[in-house]
Amino acid sequence: MEQKMQEFLAKYEIAPCEHIETVLDTSTTCLVVRGCVGSGKTQLFLSRLAYLLESEAAQKEQMLNLVVDASSARMMKQAYRERYGCEKTPNFVDIFSFAYRIVSFYDEKNQNTRKVFSNMQKAADKILRTQFKLICSNVEIERLLQKVYQCKLRLLNEKRIAEIKMDNIDFAAFYNAYEKFKKQKKIYDKADVLQEALHILMYDKEMLELYQQRFAYITIDDAQELSYAAQMLIRILQAHQAKLCAFVNPQVSCDLTYDADATIFDAWKDDYEDYKEVVLTTTHRLNSTLCELTNRFIPSTMTTASTEECEIKYKGFSEWKKMYDYALKRVEEKEEVAFLYREDAIAIPLIEHLVSNQIAVNFQWNIKSFLNDSIVKDMVNFLSLFINPRNMRAFFEVHKYMGLDMSNRMLLEIDGIMSDQPQMDIYQSIIASSYKASGKRLLSSYMEDIREVSGGTTFDMLQFVLEKFAYDANMRKERRTIQDPVWIALQILAAKYPDPREFLEVLRGLINISSSEHADVYVLPLRAAYGRQYSCVCMIDCFAHIYPKFKGNAYEEAFERRLFYMGMSRAVHHLELFTGKNCFGTRLEMSPYIYELHGKRKEASKPKATSSRLREQDFKRGVRIEHASLGKGTIKRVKDGMMEVVFAEENKMLNIKLCIKNKLVKLV
């Protein structure tokens, strides 16, 4: 070992290990460090950077240090300063920000202007509705955009793009419409930025030489998250001159949106003569119980240095309130707890519950997105109207859901009647207006119910809108269901705040809740926990429609497993997985991963009933049935010998006795 290296290890009290000399060697052209969760990759990553600066092998301006995202960049800078001091802190950047700097510099030099948008879902939704007459769910739009980004980041040509097939849509036509939309608006998505940066370096020799001369060392943490285009960008920059070092853990490659591909590093072995590889298979984070669990979920050769054991808890809650009360109890018992989630809406009632109980919480959430969600806005308007039947603004937003088809002229007439007659509300003004007779009869048919529910609880009002105005049918048109996380979050908050005025006040107040940066209680999206570890981890939304969220092919299914694996492997001492089967009458299924980890799902001991043996009492709420002509569905409610069944396209009221007698149904 060189004298400089020995002095460096002694100065920072770094214990010599098997691979430290290889990692700190500044002469290797290409080094790949493959390591499992908690194997010390991050410490080796920071040690290499510190040694480059300490040994004066490079100035910090000559080092390109890539991390997975902007949050990781901040975390790395803080970790480096805590370990090696602030005198020579290197810079950290994610690949998209780095690519944007190249594009911005090029645009400034050539006097170009372009805007970059990270979230293109609204644009894609607009294109689908206006040009293709399609209404797609959020998951379907995500999958479509993922395919678009894959095309860009795999550098596919027009012929290859034209060959791509997707269900229910001409993908090539959508791709062209999407590109045309961006060109008209003069905007770029993140994949465009990476593709454009690569294009600039490939075809602008002056720009390429500038960046190649700038960097002598390229070091990448979590390199498994890089796409093919990102790796091509790095290879062009390196050009066998800069020293390249990549830290990789393929088991937590979790960027499906931007086409992460950890397999490309396998080719580096043949591309570089001076290639070295370090393999780290011992985790210093996971105890023996967690190591065995994660190895069982995604098979690997990982071993643990810990002899500690712990209990893995699978918590199923019959009521959501119990889950949040349990979470509060867990916070009071543990010094450090991280509640990890995938769907933002699921976390909102938890954060509100903890903060309302005077618990400091370190959280990340997109509360504006939640409050601007169409379901939330509609329910806020309905409740505002029930509370104040003269609220014309609220009525204007929701009258279409009430079956009242009104022109703007008619709405102005109703508003005018209320202005002239302050004692009259909207409903009375409609009856007094020139509105069509059929509409007045429809309004009169449920006027008494509206008056009654106006004095009810928040939850009663939500259910009234769902059932009386068939709002669930509108949700299905928007390719959403009553299992939607936003609807579930509203129900939970409605149950906690029965007074609708208080409920609305709480909703409006969510925007003012601030995160406590130094709190030991975390409520974070799964991606934000990347690269971090916590004493106790609770994954709070382990449901079948969330894990797995994408399950169309083997590629997506492998990604889903890695994402769930990443969440579990954030725990150091304690892991809990939260789930449930019911939320205020909405049937929920536990994630199949829970069954897999907890043991095989027990099959029913008795055979499925056939139509010849069916009895009326077999048909209960939540039971799955299959109808001879309507297909499979779930019983929503049973009353007076009738059952309301939720089928794929619509809800149907069926006579139970007639269904049994005519052998129209069977249990699923």
Annotated binding residues for ATP, written as ranges, equal 35-42
- Laid out side by side, the sheet with 275-280 consists of 93-94, 63-67, 217-220, 243-248, 30-35, 275-280
Instruction: Please state the length of the chain.
Output: 668
Binding residues: 35-42
CA distance 69 to 149: 17
Name residues whose C-beta falls within 8 Å of residue 342's C-beta, 6 or more positions apart in sequence. 525, 526, 541, 546, 547, 549, 563
Q: Which residue, among 390, 479, 480, 472, has the nearest Cα to 429 in the 3D structure?
A: 390
520-550: b (≥16 Cβ within 10 Å) or e: bbbbbbbbbbbbebbebbbbbbbbbbbbbbb
**How many C-beta atoms lie closer than 10 Å to residue 249's C-beta?**
24
**Contact assessment for residue 182 and residue 188, using Cβ atoms and an 8 Å cutoff:** yes
Q: Compute the CA torsion angle 371, 373, 379, 380 (nearest 10 deg).
A: 30
**Contact assessment for residue 665 and residue 627, using Cβ atoms and an 8 Å cutoff:** yes
Name residue 345's amino acid.
Answer: A
CA distance 459 to 379: 11
27 CA to centre of own chain: 41
Q: Which residue, among 327, 346, 345, has the nearest Cα to 337 in the 3D structure?
A: 327
Two structure tokens written together for 104: 């911005």
Q: Which helix (H) or strand (E) holds 665?
A: strand 665-667
CA distance 48 to 41: 11
Distances (CA, A) of 300 to 260, 281, 421: 20, 9, 75
